[in-house]
């Protein structure tokens, strides 16, 4: 595995691979890798000749009350996971390498951002889309891999690739879960033992909603109420939101049909957990 810290070297290496006709799978991350990231890398390794991983904590996607400096970093651990996952190139640029001067142009995301987590984080996805635009131009991958745990981000990236005509295939990878169904997340360590026992109820509530839809329920409000009731019954968490939208357009629905997402966010004492499922529903 080669570690690269400059844009120029990264562009040269990936250009060589493309000239050789090799496919490039790209996994962009902010580091502090866990099993979810490893699943993305595994999928990229299976489907491409070359695997590129980027680790870059992007200051543009942190809001005024979100502490960029406190974001967890562990490069030594990241390198071990990258090697074990078969990464060929680890791109590890500094902030000054990625943003050597104030930006004269920034990407503004207009759709799919005023719902779910984006509603309480204005400007967050502008920062995500801007850094991904830079990274896509630097790496120029064949395929890019993103986890469905953050389904809203996947929807935004889908729009970015389509609207800007990037010749990149977006590969969404299913959420990696613990044996009891809880979505894997670096935030899970902040749950108390009691909260950890309760947290699988989030996925159980989504599964209950899925069964209701399979049994004919088509009212989005009824589905949201069912999920909320389950979470309030089986956890002490505070519900941020439970929402049903079309996917990936993230538009409100009068009636559940087509491809949809049921998404939720729940606050525990020291952790805010998100989860979702997507379904293809016949009218």
* Strand-strand pairing, 169-173 and 238-246: unpaired
Q: Given the structure tokens 């809203």, which residue do they identify?
A: 152
Q: Is 230 helix (H, G, I), strand (E, B) or coil?
A: helix
148 known ligand binder: yes
33 annotated to bind ligand = yes
Confirm or deny that 253 is annotated as ligand binding: no
Distance from C-alpha of 177 to C-alpha of 17, rounded to nearest angstrom? 34
Query: Cis (ω within 30 of 0) for the bond into 248?
Result: yes
Sheet of 238-246, strands arranged across? 238-246, 258-267, 272-281
Whether 140 has a binding-site annotation, put simply, is: no
Q: Is 178 helix (H, G, I), strand (E, B) or coil?
A: coil
- The answer to whether 35 is a known ligand-binding residue is yes
Q: Is 37 annotated as a binding residue?
A: yes
Which residue in 37, 137, 165, 236 is the catalytic one?
37
Query: Is 221 annotated in some ligand binding site?
Result: no
Does 185 appear as a known binding residue? Answer: yes
The answer to whether 203 is a known ligand-binding residue is no
Q: Establish how many alpha carbons lie within 13 A of residue 145's alpha carbon, considering only the half-sphere containing its beta carbon.
A: 25
Q: Is 210 labeled as ligand-binding? A: no
Burial code (b: 16+ CB inside 10 Å, e: under 16) for 179-193 equals eebbbbbeebeebee
Q: Judge whether 20 is annotated as a binding position.
A: no
Q: Clarify whether 236 is annotated catalytic.
A: no
Neighbours of 62 (CB within 10 A): 18
Does 149 show up as a binding residue in the annotation?
A: yes
Instruction: Kindly tell me the sign of the dihedral angle through the C-alpha atoms of 241, 243, 247, 249.
Output: negative
Show binding-site residues for ATP.
Answer: 30-37, 147-150, 176, 184-187
Show binding-site residues for beta-alanine.
Answer: 61
Residue numbers annotated as active site: 37
Show binding-site residues for (R)-pantoate.
Answer: 61, 153
Show binding-site residues.
Answer: 30-37, 61, 147-150, 153, 176, 184-187
């Amino acid at each position: 595995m080669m570690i690269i810290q400059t844009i120029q070297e990264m562009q040269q290496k990936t250009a060589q691979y493309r000239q050789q006709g090799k496919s490039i799978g790209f996994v962009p991350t902010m580091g502090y890798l866990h099993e979810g990231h490893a699943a993305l890398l595994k999928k990229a390794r299976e489907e491409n000749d070359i695997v590129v991983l980027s680790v870059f904590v992007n200051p543009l996607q942190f809001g005024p009350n979100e502490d960029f400096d406190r974001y967890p970093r562990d490069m030594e651990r990241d390198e071990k996971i990258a090697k074990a996952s078969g990464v060929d190139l680890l791109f590890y640029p500094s902030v000054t390498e990625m943003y050597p001067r104030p930006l004269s142009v920034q990407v503004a995301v207009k759709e799919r951002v005023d719902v779910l987590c984006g509603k309480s984080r204005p400007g967050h996805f502008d920062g995500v889309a801007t850094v991904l635009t830079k990274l896509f131009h630097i790496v120029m991958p064949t395929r890019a891999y993103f986890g469905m745990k953050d389904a809203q981000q996947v929807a935004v990236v889908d729009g970015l690739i389509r609207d800007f005509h990037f010749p990149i295939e977006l590969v969404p990878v299913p959420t990696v879960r613990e044996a009891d169904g809880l979505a894997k997340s670096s935030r899970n360590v902040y749950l108390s033992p009691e909260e950890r026992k309760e947290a699988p109820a989030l996925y159980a509530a989504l599964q209950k909603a899925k069964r209701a839809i399979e049994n004919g329920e088509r009212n989005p409000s009824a589905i949201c109420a069912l999920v909320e009731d389950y979470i309030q019954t089986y956890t002490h968490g505070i519900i941020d939101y439970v929402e049903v939208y079309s996917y990936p357009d993230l538009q409100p629905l009068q009636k559940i049909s087509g491809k949809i997402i049921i998404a939720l966010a729940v606050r525990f004492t020291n952790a805010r957990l998100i989860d979702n499922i997507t379904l293809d529903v016949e009218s």
